[in-house]
Amino acid sequence: MIDEEVARNLEAQLQAELEEEERLARQKEEEANIALVAEWDDVQAMMDADHELAESLQAE
């Protein structure tokens, strides 16, 4: 009886640890995606600025 309770408690603890690891992995992936989008936005802004500069130089 005690062995069963210990086994259930251990299983619950392991399950909680697994869920926490999965949550942290999802959080890390989401943070990486946010950083990638921000980096892409910066690149796109630089490309837009370069395009505007090229147009203004051609107009001169």
3 state SS for 45-59: HHHHHHHHHHHHHHH
Rounded Cα–Cα distance for residues 47 and 50 (Å):
5
pLDDT at position 1: 78
Rounded Cα–Cα distance for residues 6 and 25 (Å):
28
pLDDT at position 2: 84
Q: What is the pTM of this model?
A: 0.67
Sign of the torsion angle spanned by Cα atoms 11, 12, 17, 19: positive
pLDDT at position 60: 80
Per-residue pLDDT of the chain (60 residues; tens, 9 = 90+): 788 999 999 999 999 999 999 999 999 999 999 999 999 999 999 999 999 999 999 988
Q: What six digits make up the tokens of 21?
A: 């690891």
pLDDT at position 12: 97
